[in-house]
Chains A and B, each alone.
Chain A
């Protein structure tokens, strides 16, 4: 016998609405031509906006948060301290490559991956955070655009290695399946 909801009143009513597709009505069909997409991409690849002032702001915020994590107040939660370090780094990751600093995006991405899973802010965690901070600062100061070539790879490998050693050391105390 097929009785809808076993004759019980629905508990979680959801209404589905199909709004009018106003934008489709305006733009028509056919997509954008390859020529337009290429022109827009060229604009993205050749613009000359300076990223350094913005990067300096994010780096300063990152260092302030690292220093705060070194000397936290009693009511600072671990999650808040981690997030405060993480956010400016996410900005560096997000914006670096948009302004031709692909190496910054790569380094910052590795650091974000690290910070998303750390469970403590001890001396070693802070050391790693400072290492990432200094490396990004050097890339900005040296105006190292692009992926940094082999030197860029070496830098990323070195920082990755530090993180791997950190997690190897804390293997017994970190719950790798846990979402913090």
Chain B
């Protein structure tokens, strides 16, 4: 039994046309049934309101309306059809202060470019299997900015399979684009 994305609707917002096509191809190969595209945050929000997608994947740097502004609109505007929709923000930035800025705009997951398909899949998997709670307070509305990571047990590994699993997990976290230092699995890993 595997995921079936056939009935899933994804809104993809990216101003770089070749990149948009590439991402669309990747999502299609994941089996995503409906992919709606937009070239900036403004068009993205219009299409978001029209189609009410299950997931939004957006680039950060776009003009006139960037991914942060789009995220803010989705989370806070009255006409937003789903304020809780998961949002993956793609960017070349990996500096802490900039990532915090994005996190505070209510994005769910952060994906550092360049990435490989496994990096993208890992974010999807997190959204599906470990959804964030939402927090509403005076100055913030969005996914809980903390995600507790289950610590490994302190005790000894007693079975051979345990160490094998650990090695495999380690292998899978190495990116295939040769960009081992850039991707950040979670915004709260920073």
The interface of chain A, by Cβ under 8 A from chain B, is: 12-19, 21-24, 26-33, 36-37, 39-41, 43-44, 47, 49-51, 54, 87, 90-91, 93-99, 102, 105, 109, 112, 116, 147, 179
Contact = CB atoms under 8 A, between A and B. Distances in A.
Given A90-B61, A98-B19, A147-B178, A17 B1 contact: no
Contact of A32 (B22, B95, B121, B177): B121
B163 interface: no
Interface residues of B, number: 52
A interface, by DSSP: helix, strand, loop or mixed? Answer: helix
A32 B179 CA distance: 23
Interface of B: 1-5, 7-8, 16, 18-19, 21-22, 25-26, 29-31, 54-55, 61, 84, 86, 90-93, 95, 97, 113-118, 121, 125, 127-129, 131, 133-138, 144, 176-179, 182
A144 to B, nearest CB: 15
Determine chain B's interface SS by DSSP, over half rule. Answer: loop
A18 B97 contact: no
3 smallest A-B Cβ distances: which pairs? A94-B92, A94-B113, A97-B114
Contact of A44 (B26, B131, B134, B136): B26
A29 B3 contact: yes
Contacts of A47: 22, 25
